[in-house]
Structure formats: C-alpha cells, structure tokens
Amino acid sequence: MAYADTIREEQATFTTTANLIDGLLIQNGQETLAGTVSTTSITYVDAGLSVVRTTAASAVVIGLAIFGASVASTGHAMYAGLSVDSTSSPSIIIEFYPQLGYTDGRQEIITIPYIFTGLSAGSHTFRLLWKVDNGATAYMTNRNLLIFAGVSS
C-alpha cells in the first residue's frame, strides 16, 4: 500500500472517530488542511491549524491532531504538540524521529491525543504547534485538528 493510501485511510478513520465522539460531547470543531508545509524553526511555530471553542468552567476538552511527517536529513527530531490559547507553548509535546526523504513520498503518520482540563469559562483557541532540531527541515502533510468540548465536570 502506498503512503498516500495510508494517509487517506487515517483521515477516514479520523472522520469516523469524530462522528462517533460528536454524539457524546456538546460541541466539536475540526480543521483539515491538505498539502505540505515545512519549517526550519527551532522554536515552536503555528502549523496553520486552529479551532476556537467556547467552554464552560472546568469543561473537559479532548484534542486530537493527525498528520503526515518527515524530515530532510538523518538523525533530526521533530517536535509537535497541542496548545490552548498560546502560539508558542504546547500543553503536550511529542518528540519523534520521522522517516527521511519527503521527496520520495515516505511519511510517518503521527497522532497526538490530549485531554485539556481546568479551563476557565469562555472562548479558547486550540492550535497545533511544531518545531525541528537545529539544521533540519521538517515537513507536515494533510494536517487535521479535532477539538471536542464536553460538559463541565
């Protein structure tokens, strides 16, 4: 199976999961961006995905990001995470060493789940942030961000 087919299957699973969870929680938000972006940043930058949700005080919010990832050089780590109300500091950080060689189509499919708790009542912006080791270029493809805001606990 080609990597593109694997990414399409993961996106289908993402949508199915969204539809199932949607019935259990009050509201959801989803943003999906096709295509590829790259970064050489060694500090966290926005990956271009954001979802805004209004929550009650102490609401439980589930975040899920899925994307394809690769780096252009050997031995470099890529970092990604989900944030709430921040463009530079993720609430969760995942470090990984994705496949090399975006140019030949090899991509690792990365999934980042996170449960946000303790939020104040009001509007919150959830983002996918990322960075790469010094001297490397990282690529992110077919980015998906899904946010489910539940009832207050």
| pLDDT at residue 128, as a whole number | 94
CATH number of 3-152: 2.60.120.1340
User: Could you tell me the residue ranges of all domains in the chain?
Assistant: 3-152
Poorest-pLDDT segment among 21-25, 70-74, 89-93: 21-25
Can you read off the two tokens belonging to residue 41? 């940043």
| Mean pLDDT computed over every residue of the chain | 81
57-75 pLDDT per residue, tens:
888 898 999 998 988 887 8
For 14, 24, 57, 145, the CA distances from 148, given in Å and listed in that order, are: 13, 9, 15, 10
pTM above 0.85, yes or no: no
Q: What share of the chain is helix, strand, coil (3-state, %, to 5)?
A: 15, 55, 30
Task: Report the C-alpha gap between 12 and 144 in whole angstroms.
Answer: 11
Pairing of strands 78-84, 59-71: unpaired
